C-alpha cells in the first residue's frame, strides 16, 4: 500500500506540476520523490538508537501514517504558493522551496520502505518483490484515479492508500492510539476522496489548484484531468470578438468577428474552439490563414489533420470544400469536449458526413493506414504539457523525426502534400530551420535527388493589433512530387494578396541558410557549425524542440528571440543536474563523516560501488526505454504504464526468485545472474531498434505485448541485483544496509536527470549503453566485494542497527 501510494503520488505530482508550473519542471517530481526516500533511508542509518529493532513494527506504522498526513499538508502548502517564473534569483529560491515542501512526505515513505527492506533480511527478496509490485500497481492506478477524479483528488487517493498501509502495519502492534489514528485518517480521507470526485464531476471541485504559472486562475467553464493532461476551457461563448489566430492575414476586414473559446492543455498550450451556428460562411476568414495554403493547390482532397484540437483545421478543410477530413487527436477528452460538452457551440462537427474524429496517436494511426491522403496537416502539433511520465517530457516529439516524416510521405498520394506549422522567430527561426533539415533528410530517404524542388515555406509575421505572438508563424509544404510551376505561381499569388512572406520556394530563398538546408549538400557541416542544433531529429534522438546544446545552456541571453520555453527547459535540466549531483554526493559523504566507528567501513568500498552502479544502471535503462517505447507505442500513457509496469513487476518477480538462495551459494548465484543480465541487455540493445522498425504498423495491443515481452526478461534480472547485493552486504556489513539502500536511491536520483541529459545531447542508445556499462561496473564491484573478509562479530553500533542477525523474530 505504501509503495503503491508513493508511485501514485509521484506521478500525480508530475501532472500537477505541469499545470501549476511549466512542463519542464514536471520531471522534478521524480527527483524529489527519489531524494526524499533516500533521505529517509539515511535517517534510519544515522539514528539506530531511535529506530531500535524491537520497535520496528511501531515505526513502520508511524512512518506510513506520517507519510499519509504529510501528503495532504505538503500539497496544500505547495498549492498556496505562487510559482515565480520571472528571470530573477527568486526563481532559484522558489524551486528550492518547492523541492523542500514536496519532498517531506517521501522522507517518511523512505523511512518506512527502508525499515521494511533492512529489518527482515531473511525475507528481503519477498519484501523487495512486494515493494516493486506495489510500485507497478501505482503506475496503473494513475490512469484509473484520474478517470474518476482530478489531480488534487489523486493526491487525496495517495494519502488514503498510505493511511490504509499505516492501519495494516499497526494491526499487529500494541499501540492502540496509533491504530485508531490510522483508521480515523483512512475514513476521513475516503470521504474527502468521494467528495472531491463528485464535486469535480459537477465542475465545482472543493479542492483545486489556484496558482497556475504564477498567476491566480479563475475557475474555468470546464476542466477535465486525465493521465497526461488537464484541459480547461475558458472564455465568453456569447460575445463576438476579432478572430485571434496568429496565422490570419492582416488583410481580413476589420469588422470580421467570431465567437471563440480557448481550450488550454495544462494552462500553456492553447487551441481555439470556434462557434459554427451560421454555417461555414461565418468562418470564411479561415481562407486567409497562412496555415491553410495547401488547400489552394490541392482541391477535392482527402485531408488528415494531426492534432484536431478545437476543430479549427477541420473547419478550414470544410471551408475549402475538401472531399473528406480525418481529425486525429491523442486526447479523448478534447474530442468529447469539442463534440459533446460544447457540441452546440462548435456545430457538432462529428455529425458532418465528411468528418471523422479518431482518438489515437497520429503516427501510429497513420502507420496502420493503407489508404492514401492528399494533404496531411499538422498545425502546432505538439504540447508543452508533461506526459504522465513526468521526468521524460522532453521526449514528446515523435512527430518530428526523419522516420515519422518518411512514414507520412509514404501515406500521401502521388501529388500529396505534408504541411507543418511552427513559430517563426525573425531573429533566429530555429524551429523552421530544423523543419527544413527534417524535410530534406526525409525526402532524401525517399530517394529524392533535389529536395529543394519539393519544399515551400511561407511565413506570416503579424503587425499592429494582430501581433499576438513574439514574431510570427511559418508553414512548410513538402510535396511528394516536385511542385509544378502552377503550384508555385498560385502560392506566390496568394502570398502577395494576403501579405504573407515567401521564405523558401524552388525559385527563391529568403536567406542562404534556408537555401543550403534545402539543397541537401553539406548539410551536416552547416548544422554542426550553426549556433543552435538545427539537424534533422531521428527516432534515436527525437528531441526536435531541444535546439540548445547542453554545453551552451549557460550562454543563454535574456530577451533573445527564439524558443524561449525550450531555453527554460534546458536551463532547468542543467541546474537540476548540478543540484542532484550535489545532493547525491552529500547523501554519500555525510553518513561517512558521521560514522564514528570507521572499522565498520573496512572492505565496504566495493559494496558502495555496487549499489551506486545498480541505481544508475536501472534508471538509465528505464528512462532510455521509456523514451524509445513512447514512440513505438504511440501514446505517452502507454509509455508510462507499459514500461514502468513491466519493468517494476518483472523486477519484483526477479527479487522473489532470489528468496531461496542459500548464503553458501550467494556469491556464485549473484555472479551468474549479473552475467545473464549483461547478456540480456546486450541482446535487448541490438534487437529493440529492429523490432520497433518492423512492427510500428502493428495494432496497439500487439505493440504492447511486444514491448512487455522484450522488457520482462530485463526486469527479472535487474530485480535480482538489489536483494542479492543486500543479502551479501548483511552478512558482512549489516549496520551499513540502510546507508547502502540510500546510496542506491541517491544515484537513482542523479540518474533520473543524467539519463535525460545524455539522451538529449547524444542519443537514446547512448543512454541505454551507459546503463549497460553501469551494470558491468556493478558486476566487477561485486566480485571484489565477495573477496572481502566477512565481519565475524557485529560492532557495538551494528547491534543497534538494522541488519542480519539483529532481529530474531523477523515477522
pLDDT number for residue 397: 65
Model confidence pLDDT, tens digit, residues 279-337:
898 899 999 999 999 999 999 999 999 999 899 999 999 999 999 999 999 889 999 99
d(CA 632, CA 398): 9
d(CA 550, CA 563): 15
Whether the pLDDT of residue 365 is over 50: the answer is: yes
| More reliable by pLDDT, 648 or 166 | 166
Average pLDDT rounded to a whole number, residues 190-202: 94
Q: Is 633 within 8 Å of 642 (Cβ atoms)?
A: yes
Average pLDDT rounded to a whole number, residues 694-720: 84
- Phi and psi based region of residue 464 (left: phi greater than 0; alpha: psi -120 to 50; beta: remaining): left
Q: Of 532, 520, 350, whose CA–CA distance to 432 is shortest?
A: 532
Whether the pLDDT of residue 656 is over 80: the answer is: yes
Q: Is 561 within 8 Å of 424 (Cβ atoms)?
A: no
Largest CA distance in the chain: 90
Give yes or no on whether 229-385 and 570-790 have one common fold. no
What is the pLDDT confidence band of residue 616, given thresholds at 50, 70 and 90? very high
What's CA 137's distance to the chain center, in Å?
18
pLDDT number for residue 567: 65
Helices and strands in the chain: count of H runs, count of E runs? 25, 14
Domain boundaries along the sequence of the chain: 1-218, 229-385, 424-536, 570-790
What is the pLDDT confidence band of residue 41, given thresholds at 50, 70 and 90? confident
**Exposed/middle/buried for 700, CB within 10 Å: 0-12, 13-18, 19+?**
middle
Retrieve residue 498's grid coordinates: 494576403
Q: Is 467 within 8 Å of 478 (Cβ atoms)?
A: no
Mean pLDDT of the residues in the chain: 83
Q: How far apart are the first and last CA of the chain?
A: 18
d(CA 670, CA 468): 62
Q: Grid cell 524491537 — which residue?
A: 54
pLDDT number for residue 788: 60
Question: Which segment of 354-363, 549-558, 744-753 scores lowest on mean pLDDT?
Answer: 549-558
Average pLDDT rounded to a whole number, residues 122-141: 86
Whether the pLDDT of residue 684 is over 50: the answer is: yes
Q: Please, which residues bridge with residue 233 across strands?
A: 222, 263
As a whole number of Å, the CA-based R_g of the chain is 28
DSSP-assigned letter for residue 505: -
Q: Grid cell 510500428 — which residue?
A: 696
Question: Which segment of 61-70, 173-182, 326-335, 431-440 scores lowest on mean pLDDT?
Answer: 173-182
Average pLDDT rounded to a whole number, residues 163-169: 94
Q: Of 196, 192, 205, whose CA–CA distance to 160 is shortest?
A: 192
What is the pLDDT confidence band of residue 559, given thresholds at 50, 70 and 90? very low
Beta-carbon contacts of residue 163 (< 8 Å; ≥ 6 apart) = 64, 65, 68, 182, 185, 186, 189
Model confidence pLDDT, tens digit, residues 484-509:
999 999 999 999 999 999 999 999 99
- Phi and psi based region of residue 397 (left: phi greater than 0; alpha: psi -120 to 50; beta: remaining): alpha
Average pLDDT rounded to a whole number, residues 624-635: 77
Retrieve residue 248's grid coordinates: 490570419
Q: Which helix (H) or strand (E) holds 223?
A: strand 222-226
Is the torsion defined by CA of 255, 258, 261, 264 positive or negative? negative
Architecture of the domain delimited by 229-385: 3-Layer(aba) Sandwich (3.40)
Q: Is 556 within 8 Å of 567 (Cβ atoms)?
A: yes
Q: Under CATH, which number does the domain 570-790 receive? A: 1.20.1250
d(CA 360, CA 329): 6
Q: Grid cell 505547495 — which residue?
A: 78
Amino acid at each position: 500500500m505504501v509503495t503503491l501510494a508513493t508511485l501514485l503520488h509521484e506521478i500525480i505530482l508530475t501532472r500537477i506540476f505541469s499545470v501549476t508550473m511549466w512542463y519542464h519542471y514536471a520531471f522534478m517530481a521524480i527527483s524529489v520523490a527519489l531524494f526524499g526516500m533516500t533521505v529517509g533511508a539515511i535517517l534510519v542509518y544515522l539514528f539506530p538508537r531511535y529506530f531500535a529493532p524491537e520497535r520496528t513494527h511501531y515505526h513502520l506504522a508511524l512512518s506510513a501514517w506520517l507519510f499519509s498526513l504529510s501528503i495532504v499538508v505538503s500539497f496544500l502548502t505547495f498549492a498556496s504558493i505562487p510559482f515565480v517564473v520571472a528571470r530573477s534569483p527568486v526563481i532559484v529560491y522558489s524551486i528550492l522551496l518547492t523541492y523542500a515542501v514536496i519532498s517531506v512526505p517521501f522522507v517518511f515513505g523512505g523511512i518506512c520502505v527502508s525499515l521494511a527492506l533492512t529489518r527482515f533480511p531473511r525475507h528481503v527478496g519477498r519484501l523487495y518483490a512486494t515493494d516493486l509490485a506495489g510500485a507497478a500497481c501505482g503506475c496503473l492506478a494513475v490512469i484509473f484515479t484520474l478517470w474518476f477524479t482530478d489531480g488534487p483528488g489523486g493526491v487525496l487517493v495517495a494519502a488514503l492508500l498510505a493511511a490504509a498501509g499505516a492501519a495494516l502495519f499497526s494491526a499487529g502492534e500494541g499501540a492502540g492510539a496509533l491504530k485508531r489514528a490510522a483508521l480515523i485518517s483512512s475514513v476521513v480521507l475516503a470521504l474527502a476522496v468521494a467528495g472531491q470526485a463528485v464535486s469535480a464531476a459537477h465542475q465545482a471541485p472543493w479542492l483545486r489548484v489556484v496558482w497556475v504559472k504564477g498567476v491566480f486562475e479563475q475557475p474555468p467553464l470546464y476542466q477535465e484531468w486525465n493521465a497526461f493532461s488537464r484541459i480547461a476551457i475558458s472564455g465568453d461563448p456569447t460575445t463576438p470578438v476579432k478572430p485571434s489566430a496568429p496565422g490570419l492575414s492582416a488583410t481580413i476586414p476589420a469588422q470580421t468577428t467570431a465567437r471563440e473559446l480557448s481550450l488550454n492543455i495544462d494552462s500553456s498550450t492553447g487551441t481555439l474552439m470556434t462557434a459554427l451556428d451560421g454555417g461555414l460562411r461565418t468562418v470564411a476568414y479561415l481562407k486567409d490563414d497562412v496555415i491553410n495554403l495547401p488547400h489552394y493547390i490541392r482541391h477535392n482532397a482527402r485531408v488528415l489533420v494531426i492534432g484536431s484540437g478545437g476543430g479549427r483545421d477541420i473547419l478550414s478543410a470544410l471551408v475549402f470544400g475538401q472531399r473528406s477530413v480525418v481529425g486525429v487527436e491523442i486526447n479523448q477528452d478534447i474530442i468529447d469536449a469539442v463534440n459533446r460538452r460544447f457540441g452546440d457551440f462548435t456545430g457538432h462537427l462529428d455529425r458532418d458526413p465528411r468528418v471523422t474524429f479518431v482518438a489515437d496517436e497520429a503516427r501510429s494511426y497513420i502507420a496502420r493506414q493503407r489508404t492514401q491522403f492528399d494533404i496531411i496537416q499538422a498545425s502546432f502539433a505538439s504540447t508543452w504539457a508533461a506526459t504522465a511520465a513526468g521526468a521524460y517530457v522532453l521526449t514528446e516529439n515523435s512527430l518530428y523525426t526523419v522516420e515519422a516524416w518518411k512514414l507520412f510521405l509514404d501515406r500521401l498520394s502521388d501529388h500529396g502534400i505534408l504541411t507543418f506549422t511552427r513559430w517563426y522567430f525573425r531573429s533566429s527561426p530555429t524551429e523552421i530551420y530544423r523543419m527544413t533539415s527534417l524535410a530534406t533528410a526525409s525526402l532524401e530517404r525517399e530517394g529524392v535527388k533535389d529536395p529543394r524542388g519539393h519544399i515551400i515555406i511561407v511565413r506570416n509575421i503579424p503587425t499592429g493589433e494582430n501581433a499576438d505572438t513574439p514574431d510570427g508563424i511559418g508553414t512548410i509544404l513538402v510535396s511528394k512530387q516536385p511542385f509544378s510551376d502552377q503550384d508555385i505561381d498560385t502560392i506566390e499569388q496568394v502570398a502577395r494578396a494576403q501579405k504573407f512572406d515567401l521564405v523558401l520556394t524552388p525559385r527563391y530563398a529568403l536567406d542562404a541558410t534556408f537555401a543550403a538546408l534545402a539543397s541537401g549538400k553539406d548539410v551536416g557541416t552547416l548544422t554542426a557549425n550553426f549556433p543552435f542544433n538545427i539537424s534533422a531529429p531521428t527516432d534515436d534522438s527525437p528531441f526536435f524542440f531541444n535546439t540548445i546544446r547542453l554545453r551552451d545552456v549557460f550562454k543563454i541571453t535574456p530577451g533573445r528571440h527564439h524558443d524561449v520555453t525550450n531555453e527554460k527547459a534546458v536551463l532547468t535540466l542543467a541546474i537540476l543536474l548540478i543540484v542532484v549531483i550535489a545532493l547525491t554526493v552529500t547523501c554519500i559523504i555525510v553518513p561517512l563523516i558521521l560514522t564514528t566507528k570507521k572499522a565498520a567501513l573496512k572492505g565496504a568500498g566495493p559494496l558502495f560501488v555496487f549499489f551506486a552502479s545498480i541505481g544508475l544502471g536501472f534508471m538509465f535503462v528505464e528512462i532510455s526505454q521509456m523514451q524509445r517505447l513512447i514512440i513505438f507505442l504511440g501514446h505517452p500513457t502507454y509509455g508510462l504504464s507499459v514500461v514502468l509496469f513491466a519493468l517494476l513487476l518483472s523486477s519484483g518477480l526477479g527479487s522473489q526468485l532470489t528468496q531461496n538462495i542459500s548464503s553458501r551459494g550467494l556469491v556464485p548465484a549473484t555472479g551468474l545472474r549479473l552475467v545473464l543480465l549483461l547478456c540480456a541487455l546486450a541482446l535487448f540493445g541490438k534487437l529493440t531498434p529492429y523490432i520497433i522498425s518492423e512492427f510500428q504498423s502493428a495494432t496497439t495491443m500487439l505493440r504492447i505485448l511486444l514491448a512487455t515481452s522484450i522488457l520482462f526478461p530485463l526486469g527479472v534480472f535487474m530485480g535480482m541485483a538489489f536483494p542479492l547485493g543486500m543479502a551479501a552486504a548483511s552478512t558482512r556489513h549489516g549496520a551499513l544496509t540502510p546507508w547502502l539502500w540510500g546510496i542506491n536511491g541517491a544515484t537513482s536520483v542523479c540518474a533520473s536527470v543524467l539519463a535525460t541529459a545524455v539522451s538529449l545531447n547524444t542519443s537514446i542508445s547512448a543512454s541505454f549503453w551507459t546503463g549497460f556499462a553501469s551494470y558491468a561496473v556493478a558486476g566487477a564491484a561485486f566480485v571484489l566485494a565477495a573477496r572481502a573478509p566477512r565481519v565475524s562479530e557485529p560492532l557495538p553500533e551494528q547491534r543497534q542497527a538494522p541488519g542480519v542477525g539483529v532481529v530474531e523474530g523477523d515477522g
